[in-house]
Amino acid sequence: MELNEELEDLKEEKEEIGGVRGFGDEIGGRIRGIGERRRNWREEDEELKKLEEELEKLKEELEEEKLEMELNKKFEELKEEEEELKEYKKELKNEKLEMELKKELEELN
């Protein structure tokens, strides 16, 4: 009977050791899971940094395009003003000629 009891004790001890081993495996699995999540976070951080850099570049390009559009608008306004000034100059020239003609006509009369 002593052998049976000893055998039972050994079986119980084995189950306890197996339980401890299972617990160790569970802890190891959790640690591996944590490591994997940290690795994923690092990768996501790197991806986020790349996206932020890309966003900055796009913002800069947008700002440049905006400035270019403003410059083009100003240029068009200046061209219009130049045309208006040319027209005004023609009108002044015509008025001057007209006045000179009137003066000459008066002198002739």
Give the residue from 12, 20, 15, 17 showing the smallest Cα distance to 4.
Answer: 12
What is the H or E stretch that residue 109 is in?
none
- Buried/exposed 3-34: b ≥16 CB within 10 Å, e otherwise: eeeeeeeeeeeeeeeeeeeeeeeeeeeeeeee
Q: What is the pLDDT of residues 44-84, one digit of tens each?
A: 999 999 999 999 999 999 999 999 999 999 999 999 999 99
| Helix locations, 1-109, DSSP H | 2-108
Q: Which amino acid is at 94?
A: N
Taking the model in full, what pTM does it have?
A: 0.48
